Amino acid sequence: MIGGGPGGVGAAREARRRGASVTLVERAALGGTCTHAGCIPAGAFHRAASILDEMARAPAVGVSVVPGSADWGRLQSWVGQVVTRAAALTRTTLESAGVEVVAGPASFDGPGRVQVGGRALEAAAVVLATGAASIVPQLPDPPRCPVLTSTEAMALGRPPAHLLVADAARFGLEWADLFAHLGSQVTVATTDARLLPAEDADLAGFLQILLERRGVRFLLGVTAGEALADVQPDAVLFADTRVPATAGLALPAAGVTIGPDGAVAVDAACLTTAPSVFAAGDVTGGPWLSNRARAQGVVAAVNAVGGSARFRPERVPRSVNTHPELAAVGLTEAEAGARGLAVAVGYGELATSLRGITLGEDQGALKLVVDTEYGEILGGHMVGAGAVEVIAQVAAAMELEADYRDLARVSHLHPSLAELVTEAIASI
C-alpha cells in the first residue's frame, strides 16, 4: 500500500483480514489529509461552532448563559489534540493488524517493484492511495491579501475580519460557516448558479437561506477574481481546489495511466491500467470523501488478493459539516428523473418531528427518492440536525438493497430523528 490515509489504511486492514502480508508506505504522516487537514480537524473546529449555536439557543429553553465567544488560540490547541489522538489511533490500528509501516517517499521502478529510501519492495499487488494536494489556482489579478488553502486557514493567527471563500462546494461552505460563527464577515463567490450543484437543489437552496441568515453573503455566477472587485477581504480561501498527488511516483514505470485531469484511471474493481496495480481515494479524482477512499481501498484489497468486489459510488454517503449539516446518498430527484425511472419522493419535516422540536432544532427536512416500480431506494438527502446519522440509515438500506417499503416496518425509538425516515416513506 502506498499512502497512509483512509484509502491505504482501509486497503491494508482488509488485505490483512484476508491473510495477506502487507507493507504500507507513507511519506508524511499517517492518517493523510483526512486526519491532519481535512475531516478530523474540520469536525473538531465545528464542535466549537455547535457549542456556540447551543449557547445562543439556551435562553429559549430556560437556561441562562453568558454570551458565547471563541478563543481562537485555545480552539487551535483543542484541534491539535484531536488530530494527534486520531493519528496515534491510525498507527495503533495498523500495528495491531500486523501491517508493516515504512516511512518515506515511494516510487515505482517497474511493475510490482517500489523503491523507498533505498529499500526495494516487491509485491504481487500494489494499492496506490496517495490522496490529493490542495492548491491555489493562478489568479489573473492576484490580491494583496493572503491567498490560503485549508491547511493555511487552520494555522491563521486569528480569524480574518473579512474572508472571501472561492467556490460554494463542500469544504468552502464548511469554512465559511465556521468563520461566520467566529465573527468574520464572510463572502462566498462561485461560478455556479447555486450552491452545491451536485446536491438536491431544494435542500441546497434551503441551506443557502440558513447560511445567509447567519450573515454569509453569496455571489453566484462570479469568479473569485471578479469578486475581488466588489469586496476587500483580509484573506481569500481556496478550500476545494485539489489535484491528485502523483508527483515523484514514476507511474509510467509501472504502466499506470494518468488522465487529463491528473487522476489515476481505475475501473469498478479499482484496477488501474497496469496489471496488479490498484488505486483508491483522492488519487483517482473527486469527490474528495474519506469514506469513498476507504470503500475503494477495501474493494482494491479484495481484488488484489484474488477476490471479487465492485465499487458502487452511488452507495457512498456524503456530507457538508455546516450548521445545520447537509448529508446525502445516491441520486437526486433530478438525476433519477433524467434516467427515466418511475420516481417518487417523500419528505420528513423537522418542523413536525417531536425530537427536532424537543431539541430546538426544527429547521430542515429529509427527502427520499425512490423507484415505485421496483421499490428501490434511489437516494436520500437531508438538511438539519442529525442529518449525517439519519442518512446513514438510508445508506445501510441501499447497501442491503432493501425495498423502501421495508423501512416503514422498522420500529424506531420515540422521539427520535430516525423517525424522519418512516415519515418520509409514509408521505410517498
Q: Residue 356 domain-assigned?
A: yes
What are the phi and psi torsion angles at 254 (to 5°)? -95, -5
CA angle 13, 15, 21 (to 5 degrees): 105
Q: Is the pLDDT of residue 284 over 90?
A: yes
pLDDT > 90? residue 142: no
* Same-domain status, 297 and 178: no
Reported confidence tier of residue 111, pLDDT bands at 50, 70, 90 = confident
- Is 319 domain-assigned? no
- In the 8-state DSSP scheme, what is residue 114? E
Mean pLDDT for 85-94 is: 97
Give a yes or no: residue 16 inside a domain. Answer: yes
Residue range 211-230, pLDDT digits in tens? 999 999 999 999 998 999 88
Whether 419 maps to a domain, the answer reads yes
CATH at 22: 3.50.50.60
Q: What is the pLDDT of residue 311?
A: 98
Separation of alpha carbons 64 and 359, rounded Å:
17
pLDDT top residue among 138 and 262: 262
Q: For residue 84, is pLDDT > 90?
A: yes
Identify the domain boundary among 237, 258, 281.
237
Phi, psi dihedrals of residue 251, rounded to the nearest 5°: -60, -35
**Strand (E) positions, 154-313?**
162-166, 185-190, 217-220, 235-237, 242-244, 277-279
**Closest by CA position to 189, among listed 219, 209, 212:** 219
- Same domain? For 81 and 98 the reply is yes
Active site residues: 414
Residue type at 388?
A: V
Residue 422 has a pLDDT of 95
Among 179, 204, 237, the domain boundary falls at 237
- 203 and 83 assigned to the same domain: no
pLDDT value at position 33?
93
Whether the per-residue pLDDT at 100 is higher than 90: the answer is yes
Take residue 207 and report the three cell numbers written for it.
Answer: 441551506
Do residues 124 and 251 share a domain? Answer: yes
Range of the domain at 10: 6-133+242-314
Q: Is residue 138 part of a domain?
A: no
Whether the pLDDT of residue 67 is over 90: the answer is no
Torsion angle defined by CA atoms of residues 166, 289, 52 and 199, in that order, rounded to the nearest 10 degrees: 70
Q: Which of 237, 253, 286 is the last residue of a domain?
A: 237
Count: domains in the chain? 3
Note the pLDDT of residue 138: 84
Q: Do 45 and 104 have their domain in common?
A: yes
Task: Tell me the per-residue pLDDT of 369-419, one tens digit each, with 9 for 90 and over.
Answer: 999 999 999 999 999 999 999 999 999 999 999 999 998 899 999 999 999
**pLDDT, average across residues 318-340:** 96
Q: Quick one: pLDDT at residue 366?
A: 98
| C-alpha cell, 367 | 427527502
Are 11 and 117 part of one and the same domain? yes
Q: Do 256 and 301 sit in the same domain of this protein? A: yes
Q: Tell me, yes or no, whether 22 lies in a domain.
A: yes
Question: Does residue 142 sit within a domain?
Answer: no
User: Cell for 33?
Assistant: 489529509
Q: What is the mean pLDDT of the chain?
A: 95
Does 39 share its domain with 111?
A: yes
For residues 36 and 22, what is the distance between their CA atoms, to the nearest angstrom? 24
CA distance 330 to 370: 10
pLDDT attached to residue 45: 93
Are 340 and 372 part of one and the same domain? yes
pLDDT of 139 over the 90 cut: no
The DSSP secondary structure of 50-95, one letter per residue, reads: HHHHHHHHGGGGT---PPP---HHHHHHHHHHHHHHHHHHHHHHHH
Q: What is the mean pLDDT of residues 167-176?
A: 93
pTM for the model stands at 0.94
